[in-house]
A = this chain, B = another copy of it.
Amino acid sequence: MMDIPSSTPRFELVTLGRACIDLNAVEYNRPMEETMTFSKYVGGSPANIAIGAARLGLTTGFIGKIADDQHGRFIRSYMEHAGVDAAHFVVDTEGHKTGLAFTEIKSPEECSILMYRDDVADLYLRPEEIEESYIRDAGLLLISGTALAQSPSREAAVQAIQYARRHGVKIAFELDYRPYTWTSPAETSVYYSLVAAQCDIVIGTRDEYDVMENRSHGSNEQTISTLFASGASLVVIKHGVEGSYAYTNTGETYRGHAYKTKVLKTFGAGDSYAAAFLYATIRGKDIGTALQYGSAAASIVVSKHSSSDAMPTVDEIETLIAQQPVIPS
């Protein structure tokens, strides 16, 4: 349970980073070469988390740069209809395009993404485009790791963190590691370490923490020891179907279990997890319950065709928790 300021923030959650287009294979269980039709959805981890959080009922804002074209306008319109505040969408004026993700679903176990991420609009968010008062009025600021991959988006994310710290706003860091936007593992490690050291909550998979630490097969104990020393209060480490762990700087450890489900594809699991976990935490549920919210939301999204569109409601999550068996450890 987070230590939330008593006064009600304007937005319970503000996420920062990319909002993109997913082009999901309509004909699936085949290689993409044989897919002839694609469905369009909003995508990108922090956009998905904002949409998921809004669907769960959090007051939610989003900070990001979108292209001045049909795809950019679709993203804005979709997110506004989903209940996300769009006042801090910054429209690109330099001709940058919207990032694209063509999804290939060969089988539930073999999913891959063909990415268009060169010179995309979201990576051109600039530090002077971050409005201090929008950060100041947030209950929690979530930074997506991919926003750190290139300049000037990298500096915009750090600027947002500096504003949040100045005003005592809590910060969550979703590691969201996407190798293709980074120059080298050493570069990723430098920025992930730098940012994690300034955040209250860190969420990622075990593999992502290894990237942050620039090592292989790191241990959760080492990870939390470093992060608690630099000031984090809550660290979530996900281990796939084996479930997830939450550690607090007060010494508690919680374990969450994954739910059995019929997997259509693996995309979107992490985003729905983060949205539901943060929802539960912000709304004062205990950490063990928050972990199950995360697992349940992930389980729902992987069984459906889209990521953003499939973000569940509280009812859907609670129904699944009540009815569905977990995968035993």
Interface residues of A (CB under 8 A from B): 23, 26, 31-33, 35-40, 69-71, 73-74, 77, 97, 100, 102, 104, 114, 116, 118-119, 126-128, 151-152, 155, 158-159, 162, 183-184, 186-187, 189-191, 193-194
Nearest Cβ on chain B to A199's Cβ, whole angstroms:
14
Q: Is the CB of B40 within 8 A of A40?
A: no
Nearest Cβ on chain B to A1's Cβ, whole angstroms:
28
Docked complex Cα distance between A155 and B159 (Å): 17
Q: List 15 A-B contacts (CB under 8 A).
A: A23-B23, A31-B70, A32-B70, A33-B70, A33-B74, A37-B40, A38-B40, A118-B118, A118-B119, A119-B119, A127-B187, A128-B184, A158-B191, A159-B186, A159-B190
Q: Is the CB of B31 within 8 A of A40?
A: no
Copies of this chain, count:
4
Q: Is the CB of A70 within 8 A of B118?
A: no
Docked complex Cα distance between A32 and B31 (Å): 26
Nearest Cβ on chain B to A7's Cβ, whole angstroms:
23
Docked complex Cα distance between A27 and B228 (Å): 53
Docked complex Cα distance between A148 and B158 (Å): 14
Nearest Cβ on chain B to A231's Cβ, whole angstroms:
12
Docked complex Cα distance between A89 and B114 (Å): 21
By a CB distance below 8 angstroms, the chain B residues around A70 are: 31-33, 102, 104, 114
By a CB distance below 8 angstroms, the chain B residues around A184 are: 126-128, 152
Docked complex Cα distance between A36 and B24 (Å): 11
By a CB distance below 8 angstroms, the chain B residues around A126 are: 184, 186
A-B interface, 10 closest residue pairs, ranked by CB to CB distance from nearest? A32-B70, A127-B186, A128-B186, A155-B190, A33-B74, A158-B190, A155-B187, A38-B38, A33-B73, A33-B70
Whether A69 contacts B190 in the complex (CB less than 8 A), given A33-B74, A36-B40, A37-B40, comes out as no
Whether A97 contacts B118 in the complex (CB less than 8 A), given A39-B36, A159-B190, comes out as yes
Nearest Cβ on chain B to A263's Cβ, whole angstroms:
21
Q: Is the CB of B152 within 8 A of A183?
A: yes
By a CB distance below 8 angstroms, the chain B residues around A73 are: 33
Q: Is the CB of B114 within 8 A of A71?
A: yes
Docked complex Cα distance between A183 and B183 (Å): 19
